[in-house]
């Protein structure tokens, strides 16, 4: 379903002179009670395995990438009235699973993070009798007593990812009333027929506390251009906002609509204010959008979660239930991590992306806009304009 241009060599802990960017090994691990502080990588890591490699071998393995020209775009005069200047990149842990699990095994990163632990995965590919992938099939992981451990919908390639807790004992996978014995990687052939896909529902969820002014301004200025470049008449949009307790509002959610001018006005009506402490009402907005939004059967579903701070620690159970509900409904939550985020915010975002079969997106310093952006502990990535990345993500889900 999604067109990729991942590079063959991955480096962490250095910035390549070729324009290839990797994680900053000098960043101090952030301490937070919701997840263990992670050890920073001392050097570079191989993309396929996550194993440490020497700086020399990493430099030889690295491939050059083109970074969009952002010279001067960070000045105040040029920011005024200019859209599309924020820069970003993405990473997909599900597509680099050996890399991810090796980082976990070496305790470079650790979970759970705010109620989410995606480290135990079951990968299922669902096909019909002709060998074609089946989309939107409900896939469930059960224990020996028949209790559901995780449920999700297969994507356009027939892929479904299921997760289970450390103390769980998975026994079988069920699709369309048929069962197979549990395995970590499995192909499931069923007699079900492919259901038609009618369109795409695209949601934006934005933290509008005081530190998110750049991101709110960006969406206010660029949303119409995003819609125009995405094209298609079968895309519904929804703009949703959240802050924190004791602010003017906790959540402010809006229904899906094909009236993109209305959505544009909703962005324009917002202002960045409030917050104060570090955690925000992430759990509350995730619960609301997964249980109360008008998600439609027969539509593909994505939600961009644009944020710079994690949920409140005491809301971990609410987070876990909301993310599990998103997976069950086939909602792909794409985190977009903004400036001033810490390591635990990164790991939370990656856990959300893994659990809902989505990319992890992060802003970079290349635009010169706003405060500094955390270098994630991932492999090599391609820096591009956030506008282009969002457009491509949306287009990749349009049927």
Task: Give pLDDT tens digits for 230-273.
Answer: 998 899 999 999 999 889 999 999 999 999 999 999 999 999 99
Cβ pair 214, 369 in contact under 8 A: yes
Instruction: Count other C-beta atoms under 10 Å from residue 234's C-beta.
Output: 14
- Position 69 scores a pLDDT of 41
Give the pLDDT confidence score for residue 24 in this predicted structure.
Answer: 41
The beta strand positions in 115-224, using DSSP E, are 121-127, 138-143, 148-153, 159-163, 170-175, 178-181, 185-189, 199-207
pLDDT bucket at 51, cuts 50 / 70 / 90: low
Over residues 135-155, the pLDDT tens digits come to 999 999 999 999 999 999 999
Residues 6+ positions from 25 with CB-CB distance below 8 Å: 12, 13, 14, 40, 41, 42, 43
Task: Look at residue 193 in the predicted model and tell me its pLDDT.
Answer: 85
- What is the per-residue pLDDT across 363-376, written as a single tens digit (0 to 9) for each? 999 998 878 899 99
- Domains along the chain with CATH numbers: 1-118+197-399 (3.40.50.410), 121-189 (2.60.40.10)
Q: Is the pLDDT of residue 70 over 70?
A: no
Please, are residues 111 and 35 in contact by the beta-carbon 8 Å criterion?
A: yes
What is the mean predicted confidence (pLDDT) over 193-207? 94
Q: Say what percent of the chain tops pLDDT 90.
A: 72
* pTM of the predicted structure, to 2 decimals: 0.84
147's CB contacts (< 8 A; 6+ apart) are: none
Burial classification of residue 81, based on how many CB atoms lie within 10 Å of its CB (0-12 exposed, 13-18 middle, 19 or more buried): exposed
Per-residue pLDDT tens over the stretch 217-239: 999 999 999 999 999 889 999 99
Closest to 379 measured CA to CA, from 351, 350, 355: 350
Mean pLDDT of the chain: 84
pLDDT of residue 194: 84
pLDDT in tens, 328-377: 999 999 999 998 999 999 999 999 999 999 999 999 999 988 788 999 99
Share of the chain above pLDDT 70, in %: 79
């Amino acid at each position: 379903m999604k067109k990729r241009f991942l590079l063959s060599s991955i480096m962490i802990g250095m910035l390549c002179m070729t324009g290839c960017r990797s994680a900053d090994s000098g960043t101090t691990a952030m301490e937070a009670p919701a997840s263990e502080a992670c050890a920073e990588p001392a050097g570079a890591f191989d993309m396929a395995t996550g194993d440490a490699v020497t700086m020399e071998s990493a430099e030889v393995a690295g491939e050059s990438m083109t970074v969009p020209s952002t010279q001067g775009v960070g000045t105040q005069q040029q920011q005024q009235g200019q859209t599309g200047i924020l820069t970003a990149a993405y990473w997909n842990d599900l597509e680099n699973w050996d890399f991810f699990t090796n980082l976990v095994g070496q305790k470079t990163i650790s979970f759970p993070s705010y109620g989410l632990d995606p480290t135990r995965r079951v990968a299922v590919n669902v096909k019909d009798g002709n060998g074609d992938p089946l989309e939107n099939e409900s896939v469930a992981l059960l224990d020996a007593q028949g209790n559901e451990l995780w449920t999700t919908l297969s994507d356009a390639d027939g892929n479904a990812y299921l997760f289970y807790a450390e103390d769980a004992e998975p026994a079988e996978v069920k699709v369309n009333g048929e069962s197979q014995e549990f395995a970590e990687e499995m192909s499931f052939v069923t007699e079900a027929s492919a259901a038609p896909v009618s369109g795409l529902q695209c949601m934006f969820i934005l933290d509008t506390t005081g530190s998110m002014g750049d991101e709110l301004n960006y969406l206010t200025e660029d949303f119409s251009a995003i819609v125009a470049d995405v094209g298609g008449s079968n895309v519904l949009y929804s703009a949703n906002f959240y802050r924190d307790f004791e602010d003017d509002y906790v959540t402010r959610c809006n229904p899906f609509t094909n009236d993109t001018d209305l959505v544009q006005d909703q962005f324009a009506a917002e202002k960045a204010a409030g917050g104060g402490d570090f955690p925000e009402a992430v759990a509350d907005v995730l619960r609301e959008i997964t249980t109360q939004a008008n998600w439609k059967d027969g539509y593909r579903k994505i939600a961009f979660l644009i944020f710079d701070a994690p949920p409140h620690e005491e809301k971990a159970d609410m987070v876990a239930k909301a993310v599990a509900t998103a997976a069950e409904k086939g909602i792909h939550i794409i985190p977009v991590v903004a400036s001033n985020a810490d390591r635990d915010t990164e790991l939370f975002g990656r856990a959300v992306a893994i659990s809902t079969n989505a990319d992890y997106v992060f802003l970079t310093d290349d635009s010169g806009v706003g405060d500094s952006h955390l270098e994630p502990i991932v492999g090599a990535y391609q820096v591009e304009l956030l506008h282009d990345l969002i457009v491509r993500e949306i287009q990749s889900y349009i049927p």
